[in-house]
């Protein structure tokens, strides 16, 4: 193709590159191994580029170059997500500003654009780190400068930039130890190389990536070898906070000095009257307050709990790992992260979130059963209102499926202890049903309306009530007192073991105090207490 490209060619190439980056965002995301994931690199970069494309689409046909550059820079700034997105926005801003004064794309204009992009992007980051997207940008710019000096054609200059971008990505593990330790390349740098490659390929009409530069990412980043770092004790900040600032007179330097006092990974980019702010902090309210108190307006506020992001990302990666096929698998229904963890530790393959007030549907249970890599499946509904849905799911299942009709999570614990991997489906249903037959379940919650207990005594809205196997047997105003009354009704003195699951509304101190009180009253009762973290029910327990 000719080296003479029209404005429309360039806009189409940007759109094509954005589409490619979006399609490959998951591949980029897998490379993110840092302890505090700022969202996910591929997702953040792709969302930033998508906003650019949306902005360009709003321009009238035949828009002037200045309007196009403004649409790109404004779209990138407004759409920037996370560190990688913000830095990408500054790279695009630098490329646009650096191309001013050139009527056509050439090796000379490419050099000028990349040179300015390096200046803008590095200025945006107070403490640049080698082996990141900034390194890849700088090396790409060096390739553009070399292409200009050697008087390369436009296509040759683009190819040189892309080739060096990939080569630079391959060198990132030698510059950043955490990458080498995890056997991966830098995610942001890889995303930038993909973007450059896709843009150049769309513009020049080249099909496919250059050579086999992408193979190294597949070879060096197998999912199973990426170590997820989930130790949050060493992380000082929890909330990724980003927003737009609108002000004609905000003191940019003072604001940039303020941000590091409230966190790290701080960036403030843009120019009057529009800026993008990004910071990791424990006090997003104080960060926002600073700008509001200095007369600025704010918009597009995004606050993400990075601890939850990390947990979700780890769970997603773990779910992708191949699970060993087995003769019999389990689906259980439970509310609360603690309960789910216990059930999984006892062999449950899929835990469906649900219980009181949020009963899963037949389809939910059938879908869960279909996820289990086993010849047959047993469903533990753990609530009397879910048993029929579980039975319906079994009736629709294309493989053998049965229900062990547990009505509580503690019953499921006992049922699972009765499982025999050498027995058949029917034999296990019978044995597991028998295993929890002597388990008595108690639940403590608050009344949501006036009513009467099993003995016709009045209950007022807000009272703490104790339920034993479906019957309201204790009423009071204090959770611990109701637990003790309920235990007496459940003949705890005649039982051998007590399993106690603390709900999300019962903190550790209250749980420890409750266990101590029970131990004092029932010195021969073996108590097994865990955090169930179920909603609405401060205590769920069982005796047997």
CA distance 234 to 231: 7
CA distance 515 to 117: 62
Which of 531, 522, 541, 403 is CA-nearest to residue 469?
541
CA distance 148 to 439: 80
Which of 15, 94, 22, 100 is CA-nearest to residue 66?
100
| pTM of this prediction exceeds 0.85 | no
CA distance 191 to 21: 7
- CA geometry: angle at 462 spanning 456 and 467, to 5°? 50
Residue 502 gets the label, from left (phi > 0), alpha (psi -120 to 50) or beta, of beta
Burial code of 58-95, b = ≥16 C-beta within 10 A, e = fewer? eeeeeeeeeebbebbbbbbbbbbbbbbbbbbbbbbbbb
What's 359-409 look like in SS3?
CCCHHHHHHHHHHCCEEEEEEECCCCCCHHHHHHHHHHCCCCEEECCCCCH
Which of 359, 358, 377, 356 is CA-nearest to residue 368?
377
pLDDT tens across the length of the chain (544 residues) = 345 788 899 999 999 999 999 999 888 877 764 433 334 788 888 988 998 999 999 999 888 989 999 999 988 887 777 678 878 989 999 999 999 999 889 999 999 999 999 999 998 887 788 989 999 999 999 999 999 999 999 999 999 999 999 999 999 888 988 777 767 788 899 999 999 999 999 998 876 544 434 444 434 333 222 233 333 333 468 888 889 999 999 999 999 999 999 988 788 888 888 888 988 899 999 999 999 999 999 988 888 887 776 666 666 556 555 567 899 999 999 999 999 999 999 999 999 987 665 678 788 899 999 999 999 999 999 988 788 888 888 988 899 999 999 999 999 999 999 999 999 999 999 999 999 998 999 999 998 778 788 888 898 988 999 999 888 999 999 999 999 999 999 999 999 999 999 999 999 999 999 999 999 999 889 999 999 999 889 999 999 9
Contact 51, 76 (CB under 8 A): yes
CA distance 72 to 49: 9
Which of 350, 386, 354 is CA-nearest to residue 367?
350
Strand partners, 299: 244
Contact 67, 59 (CB under 8 A): yes
Tokens 């700034």: give the residue. 77
Q: At a CB cut-off of 8 Å and minimum separation 6, what does 523 contact?
A: none
Q: Which domains does the chain have, with CATH numbers?
A: 7-226 (1.25.40.340), 233-310 (3.30.70.980), 323-435 (3.40.50.510), 440-543 (3.30.1180)
Q: Is the dihedral of CA 401, 403, 419, 359 positive or negative?
A: positive
Which of 270, 308, 313, 436 is CA-nearest to residue 29?
313
22 token code pair? 């979006």
> φ and ψ at 352, to 5 degrees?
-95, 125
Which of 346, 326, 343 is CA-nearest to residue 334?
343
Length of the chain: 544
Burial code of 13-41, b = ≥16 C-beta within 10 A, e = fewer? bbbbbbbbbbebbebbbbbbbeebbbbbb
CA distance 163 to 182: 24
């Amino acid at each position: 193709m000719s080296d003479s490209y029209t404005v429309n060619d360039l806009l189409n190439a940007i759109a094509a590159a954005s589409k490619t980056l979006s399609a490959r965002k998951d591949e980029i995301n897998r490379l993110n191994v840092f302890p505090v994931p700022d969202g996910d690199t591929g997702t953040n970069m792709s969302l930033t580029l998508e906003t650019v494309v949306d902005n360009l689409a709003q321009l009238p046909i035949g828009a002037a170059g200045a309007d196009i550059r403004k649409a790109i820079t404004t779209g990138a700034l407004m759409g920037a997500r996370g560190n990688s997105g913000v830095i990408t926005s500054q790279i695009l801003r630098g490329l646009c500003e650096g191309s001013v004064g050139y009527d056509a794309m050439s090796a000379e204009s490419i050099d000028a654009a990349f040179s300015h992009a390096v200046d803008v992007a590095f200025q945006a980051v107070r403490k640049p780190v080698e082996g990141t997207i900034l390194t890849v940008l700088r090396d790409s710019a060096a390739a553009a400068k070399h292409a200009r000096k050697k008087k390369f054609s436009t296509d040759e200059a683009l190819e040189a930039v892309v080739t060096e971008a990939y080569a630079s990505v391959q060198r990132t593990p030698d510059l950043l130890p955490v990458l080498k330790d995890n056997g991966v390349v830098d995610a942001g740098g890889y995303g930038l190389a993909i973007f450059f490659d896709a843009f150049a390929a769309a513009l020049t009409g080249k099909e496919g990536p250059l050579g086999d530069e992408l193979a190294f990412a597949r070879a060096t980043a197998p999912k199973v070898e990426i170590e997820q770092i989930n130790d949050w004790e060493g992380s000082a900040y929890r909330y990724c906070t980003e927003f737009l600032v609108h002000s004609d007179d905000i003191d940019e330097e003072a604001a940039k000095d303020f941000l590091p006092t409230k966190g790290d990974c701080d960036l403030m980019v843009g120019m009057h009257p529009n800026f993008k702010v990004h910071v990791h902090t424990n006090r997003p309210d104080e960060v926002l307050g600073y700008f509001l108190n200095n007369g600025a307006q704010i918009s597009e506020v995004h606050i993400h709990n990075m601890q939850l992001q990390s947990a979700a990302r780890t769970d997603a990666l773990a779910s992708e790992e191949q699970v060993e096929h087995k003769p019999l698998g389990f689906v259980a229904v439970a509310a609360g992260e603690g309960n789910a963890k216990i059930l999984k530790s006892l062999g449950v393959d899929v835990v469906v979130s649900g219980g009181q007030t949020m009963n899963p549907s037949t389809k939910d249970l059938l879908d869960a059963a279909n996820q289990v890599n086993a010849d047959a499946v047993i469903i533990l509904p753990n609530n009397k209102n879910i048993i029929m849905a579980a039975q319906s799911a079994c009736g629709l299942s294309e493989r053998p499926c049965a229900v062990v009709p547990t009505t509580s999570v503690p019953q499921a614990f006992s049922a699972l202890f009765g499982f025999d991997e050498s027995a058949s489906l029917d034999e296990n249903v019978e044995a597991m049903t028998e295993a929890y037959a002597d388990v008595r379940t108690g639940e403590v919650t608050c009344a949501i309306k006036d009513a009467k207990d099993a003995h016709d005594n009045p209950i007022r809205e807000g009272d703490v009530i104790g339920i034993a196997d479906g019957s309201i047997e204790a009423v009071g105003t204090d959770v611990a007192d109701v637990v003790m009354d309920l235990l007496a009704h459940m003949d705890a003195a005649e039982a051998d073991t007590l399993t106690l699951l603390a709900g999300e509304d019962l903190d550790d101190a209250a749980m420890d105090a409750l266990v101590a009180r029970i131990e004092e009253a029932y010195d021969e009762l073996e108590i097994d207490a865990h955090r169930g973290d179920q909603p609405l029910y401060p205590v769920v327990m069982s005796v047997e």
